[in-house]
Amino acid sequence: MNAFIKVSMKVLENMLKKVLMKTLLKILLKILIPVGLVSLSPLTLALDQVETLPLTQEETVTNQINNNQITKDKKALVSDSKLVTEPDAQQLLEYIDSLRGYKGQSFTFELSNISFKENKQNNRNKLAVKVMNDTSLVEFTAPARSKGRKILKQAQNMWIRFPGTRNVLRISPAQRLLGEASNGDVTGTNFSQDYTASYEGMEMLNDKSALKLSLSAKHDKTTYKQVMFYLDSKSHLPLRSDFYARSGKLAKQAYYTKFKEFDGDLKLHRMKLVNPLIAGSYTWMMFDNYQKQDLNDAIFHKDALSR
Amino acid sequence: MLKVLSLLALFTSPLALCSDSNTSDDPFADDPFNNDVIKVNSSNSHNHKSRIELKGYYQHNNLRSDHPFNPGEDLFSDSVKLASLDGQLESNWQNQWKTRGRIYLRYLDEGKKDTTESTLLEGLVQWQSKDRNLIIELGRSKPQWSNGYSYDIANMLQPQRSLPYIDQDNPLQNKGWDMVSGQYFKGPWSFSAYLVESENSYVDANTEAVLRLGYQDNDSFSLILHKIEGQDLSFGATYSSLLTDSITFRTEWTRHSYRQMLNSLNIKQQSNYQRLVLGSTFTAASGWSLTGEYFYNEHGANKQEWESVTADAAASAERLRQSQSTDPATDYKNTYTGLSLMSQGWVRERYFSFMFMSMESEDLWQLRLSSQHSLDDGSHLHRVELLKSFNDNFSARLQWQTFNGCDLCEYGLSPSKNDVRLTGSWLF
C-alpha cells in the first residue's frame, strides 16, 4: 500500500513539475521575451539599417507615412490588453487581409511580375486587376504575346478568354498561368474568410523577432491546407509566409518586402514568391496603383468576357 | 509602460516596414513595361486597345496521289505559303460606347494558284448602360457559347469550318455574322437575344434568331433556343463544373430540326438530329494538362450512307479518269460530293479526341499533342505542335500532322497523308 502511495506521489510530483515548467516557459516566451525585444528596439533598428537596402527618398517618405498608419493600427491592436501577452490572431489575420484589399469595397490595381530561373531573370508580364469580394477579373496588358488575355475568377471557378477568339473556357485553379504565382497570389486571398488563425508564439526570423501565426483551412476548397505567417513583432506587417499543400509539403514561400500607401491606405507593394523545391526559381510581384472603385457585378460575368 | 515602449520602438524604426527577406537587387528598376500605360479606370474618358499580328507560314504537304477520287496534284500542291496581317482595334468612348473592328488581310500561295484577300472579321458598335447590366450591339460579331475544345457544338450559329478541324492560322474561321444583339445581366444570370443575317450553308434562309439564358456559378449552364427561317425551333444546352481543384467537366447538347450535312447524304431521315459532347480536363500539379472529349453526332453519315456516297464518288472519279463516263453529269456530281466530304468536319457519328498540353516552360517552350479519332471507321488525325516565344513579340510554331485511315475513311480523305508547317508570328 505504502509503495503504491509512494509511486502515486512521485507521479503527481512529476506532473506538477511539468505544469510549473510549462507555465514558466509560457511567461518567458510570451511576456518577457517580447518586452525584452521591445526594450531593445533601438538595437534592432540599427541592425535593420545595416541589412536593409538603401531607400529612395520617395520610399522613405512613404514608409514614414506608413509608420503613422501602422501606429494607428497598432494602437487599435495594442489597446486590447490581452494582445500584449497574446495577440488576437484573427484580428492580425484581418489586418493582413487589409493589406491586399478593402474589406468588401471593390477595387482595382496593377501588377507586374518578373520570374527568375536559376537566379536569372526570365519573363515579365503586367496585369490590370479588378476585384469585388471573391470575384476578380485579370487582364494581361503586357507583353504583346499575352496582351488581351482575360481570366475571370469567382471563388474557385475560373474562366479564360484568349485574344482573337470569343470563346470562353472553364479552367481549373491548378492551371498555372504566372510562373510561381498562383491565381490567389494575383488577386489576393481572403485569409480570414478561408482560414482559422492561431498564435504560435515568437520566433527569430533573420535576426528579427516575429510573431508566428498558424492558419488552418476552414474547408477543403482552399489550395493550401496550412499557412504559417511571420509578422514583424513591431509593425505587425507580414515578413514571410509558408504555404503547405494538402500533402503536407512546403509548396511555396512568400517574402513581403515593401508596403506603400495608396490614398491613405497601406497596401502590399512588393512580394517575392519562392519555389522551395527548385533552387533559384522565384517570382517578384509588384502591386501598384490601388484604387477603390464602385464596380458592377455584371463585368464579372463570364458571358461579359467576350463582349 | 509596455505600450509606451512598443510605440516608441515603432516610431524609432522607420525601416521596420521594409524588410529585406531574400532581396538583392530591385528587379523592377529597369521595368520594360514602364511606358505601357494601363487604363484600369477609364470612366468618363476614351481609350483604345489594338492588337496587330503579322504572320507567315510555310507548309509542306505529302499528298495522296493515288486516292480513288482524290485529284492529288491536279488541285493540291505540295507546298502552301501564307503571309497575313490581322488587325484589331477596340475603342471605348465616354464609358458607355465601344467600337470594335477586326480586319484580316492575307496572301495565300497554294502552288496551283495564289490569292490576295481582305475580310472584315468583326465590326460593331456597342452601347452599355451606366450600371453595365445592359449591352446592345449592332454590327458583325461571332458570339461563341461553347465550352468545348475540339467539338464546339453549342455555337449554334453554324461554325465556319474550312477544314475538318480548327486551323489556328486561319482567322477566317472567326468571321462573324451581321447582327443586332442585346444582353442583360442580373446576378449570376445573363439573358441574351440575337437577330442574325443568315449565312447558313445547309438551309436557304435570310434570318436566324437566338435566345440564350446563362447561369454562372460552381455549376454553370446555359439554354439556347435557335430559330432559323422556315425551320422548326432548335435547342441547345451547356453545362460545366469544377469537379476538383484540377479537374473540369463539361457537356453540351443540341437538337436541330434540320440536318447540317450535304444534301447528297439523305438515306438517314429523322425528325430531329441531336449532338452530344462530354469532355473533361485534368491539370497536374506540375502544370501539364490532358483533355478528353467524346462527341456523338446524329447529323453525321451512318455506315450505309457513307459507304454509298464514297463508293459512288470513287467509281465516278475512276470513270472520269479513264474517260469512260456514260453519264458525265452524274459522275462529276458524285466526284464533287466526294471532294466536298474532304472539306467538311464532323461527317460521321462518333468521335473521340484528346489533347496533351505541357505548361509553358520558363524558356517559353510548349508542347501540344492532339488526336482526333473517328470511331465509326477507325481513321484518325494526330498533331504535334512545338511552340516557342523568342521574345515579347515574336513566336514560332512547328506543327506536324498526319491523317491515318483507309482511302474511303473520314480522315483518309484528306488530300495529304501528312504535312508539316512552320509558322512565325509577330505581335505588336
Q: Which residue has the higher pLDDT, B364 or B249?
A: B249
Interface test with A, best of B2, B12, B17 (most A CBs within 10 A): B17
Q: Which residue in the set B15, B152, B427 is minimally distant from A45, CB to CB?
A: B15
Cβ–Cβ gap A124/B246 under 8 Å:
no
Between A37-41, A211-215, B398-402, the lowest mean confidence (pLDDT) is in A37-41
Read off the pTM.
0.80
Query: Distance (Å, rounded) from C-alpha B14 to C-alpha A49?
Result: 9
Share of chain A above pLDDT 90, in %: 36
For chain B, say whether A23 makes contact (Cβ under 8 Å). no
Cell of B287: 502544370
Helix (H) or strand (E) holding B212: strand B207-215
Region B294-300: mean pLDDT is 94
Give the number of other CB atoms < 10 A from CB of residue A204.
12
**ipTM for this prediction:** 0.86
Q: Of the ranges A76-80, A159-163, B284-288, B423-427, which is most confident?
A: B423-427
Q: At a CB cut-off of 8 Å and minimum separation 6, what does A133 contact?
A: A104, A106
What pLDDT shows up at residue B158? 73
Distance from the B21 Cα atom to the nearest Cα atom in chain A, whole angstroms: 6
Q: How far, in Å, CA of B73 to CA of B111, rounded?
A: 10
Q: What pLDDT is stored for residue B202 in this prediction?
A: 81
Strand B394-404 and strand B416-427: the pairing is antiparallel
Q: Is B273 helix (H, G, I), strand (E, B) or coil?
A: strand
Residue A168 CB-density burial (10 A; 0-12 exposed, 13-18 middle, 19+ buried): buried
pLDDT at site A33: 42
DSSP output for chain A: -HHHHHHHHHHHHHHHHHHHHHHHHHHIIIIIHHHHHHHTHHHHHHHHHHHSPPPPHHHHHHHHHHHHHHHHHHHHHHTSHHHHHS--HHHHHHHHHHTT--TT--EEEEEEEEEEETTEEEEEEEEEEEEETTEEEEEEEESTTTTT-EEEEETTEEEEE-TT---EEEE-TT---BTTB-HHHHH---HHHHEEEEEEEEEEETTEEEEEEEEEESSTTSS-SEEEEEEETTT--EEEEEEE-TTS-EEEEEEEEEEEEETTEEEEEEEEEE-TTSTT-EEEEEEEEEEE----GGGGSGGGTT-
Confidence of residue B362 (pLDDT cuts 50, 70, 90): confident
Burial B86-108 (b: 16+ CB within 10 A, else e): bbbebebeeeeebebbbbbebee
pLDDT of residue B71: 55
The CA distance from A206 to the nearest CA of chain B, in Å, is 8
Rounded average pLDDT over B194-212 = 90
Contacts of A298 in chain B (CB under 8 A): 131-133, 185
Query: Average pLDDT for residues A233-251, to the nearest whole number?
Result: 91
- The shortest CB-CB distance from A112 to any of B31, B250, B395 is to B31
Q: What is the pLDDT of residue A56?
A: 37
Question: Does A212 contact chain B (CB < 8 Å)?
Answer: no
Cα first-last separation, chain B: 62
Rounded to whole angstroms, the Cα distance separating B390 from B381 reads 29
Distance of CA B7 to the CA centre of its chain: 61
Please, are residues B134 and B123 in contact by the beta-carbon 8 Å criterion?
Answer: no
The whole-number average pLDDT for the span B67-95 is 83
Q: Which residues 116-155 of A are in CB contact (within 8 Å) with B?
A: 116-117, 121-124, 126, 128-130, 141-145, 147-148, 154-155
| Whether the Cβ atoms of residue B152 and residue B161 lie closer than 8 Å to each other | no
Q: Which of B13, B41, B284 sits opposite A108 (nearest CB)?
A: B41
More confidently predicted of B343 and A30: B343
Q: Which residue of A has its CA nearest to B171?
A: A164
Q: Is the pLDDT of residue A289 over 90?
A: yes
Determine the pLDDT at residue A14.
65
CA atoms within 13 A on the CB side of A268: 31
Q: Which of A253, A133, A260, A140 has the alpha carbon at shortest distance from A193?
A: A133
A157 contacts in B (CB within 8 Å)? Answer: 216-218, 220, 242
Q: Catalogue the long-range contacts made by A144-151 (C-beta closer than 8 Å, 24 or more residues apart).
A: A144/B392, A144/B393, A144/B427, A144/B428, A145/B389, A145/B392, A145/B393, A145/B395, A145/B427, A147/B51, A147/B427, A148/B49, A148/B51, A150/A305, A151/A177, A151/A183
Q: Work out the minimum CA distance from B206 to partner chain A, whole angstroms.
A: 24
Q: Determine the Cα–Cα distance for residues B129 and A302; give it in Å rounded to an integer.
A: 18
Does B17 contact A63 at a Cβ distance shorter than 8 Å? yes
CB-CB contact of A111 with A287 (8 Å): yes
* B267 vs A106: CA distance, rounded Å: 59
CA separation for the pair A219, A197 (Å, rounded): 13
Which pLDDT band, with edges at 50, 70 and 90, does B271 fall under? confident
Q: How many CB atoms lie within 10 A of CB A282?
A: 23
> Is pLDDT larger for residue B40 or for residue A253?
A253
Q: CB–CB of A147 and B6 under 8 A? A: no
Residue A36: pLDDT band with limits 50, 70, 90: very low
**Cβ-based neighbours of A20, under 8 Å, separated by 6 or more:** none
Angle value at C-alpha A155, between A153 and A158, nearest 5 degrees: 35
From B299's Cα to the closest Cα of chain A, the distance in A is 23
Mean pLDDT of chain A: 76
Cα B244 to Cα B282: distance, rounded to the nearest angstrom: 9
Pairwise CB contact (< 8 Å): B6 & A74: yes
Q: In a mutagenesis test of the B interface, which of A58, A117, A175 is the best target, namely the one with the most B β-carbons within 10 Å?
A: A175
How far, in Å, CA of A30 to CA of A178, rounded? 40
The answer to whether residue B17 scores a pLDDT higher than 60 is no
Helices (H), B296-428: 303-321, 328-342
One-letter identity of residue B366: Q
Amino acid at site B152: D
DSSP per-residue codes, B92-127: EETTTEEEEEEEEEEEEE-SS-EEEEEEEEEEEEEE
Beta carbons of A142 and B247 less than 8 Å apart:
no
User: Strand pairing partners for B83?
Assistant: B56, B107
Find which of A32, A115, A145, A274 to mutate to test the B interface (most B CBs within 10 Å of its CB): A145
Q: A with B: how many residue pairs have Cβ under 8 Å apart?
A: 269
- Cβ atoms of A178 and A112 closer than 8 Å: no
Q: Which of B190, B179, B384, B394 is nearest to A168 (CA)?
A: B190
Nearest of B350, B349, B348 to residue B409 by alpha carbon? B348
Output the pLDDT for position B3. Answer: 45
- Nearest-angstrom CA–CA distance, A255 and A123: 19
Inform me whether the pLDDT recorded for A240 exceeds 80: yes
Amino acid occupying residue A84: V
Residues of A within 8 A of B38 (CB-CB) are 110, 126, 128, 141, 289
Query: Using CA atoms, how far apart are residues B200 and A74, in angstroms rounded to an integer?
Result: 67
Segment B392-421, tens digit of pLDDT: 999 999 999 999 988 888 888 888 889 999
Q: Identify how many contiguous H helices and E strands chain B contains and give both numbers.
A: 3, 18
CB hemisphere CA count around A203 (13 angstroms): 13
Mean pLDDT of B86-95: 92
pLDDT > 70? residue B378: yes
Q: Is A203 on the interface with B (CB under 8 A)?
A: no
**A residues 3-22 closer than 8 Å to B (CB):** none
What average pLDDT does this structure show over B62-71? Answer: 73
Residue B35 pLDDT exceeds 60: no
DSSP string, B216-264: -SSEEEEEEEEEETTS--EEEEEEEEEEETTEEEEEEEEEESS--S-TT
Mutate to test the interface with B, among A126, A169, A241 (most CBs of B within 10 A): A169
**pLDDT attached to residue A64:** 38
Percent of chain B with pLDDT over 70: 86
- Coil vs helix vs strand at B311: helix
User: Per residue in A47-95, pLDDT tens?
Assistant: 232 233 333 333 433 443 344 444 444 444 444 444 456 788 889 999 9
> Who among B132, B133, B248 is closest to A172 (CB)?
B248
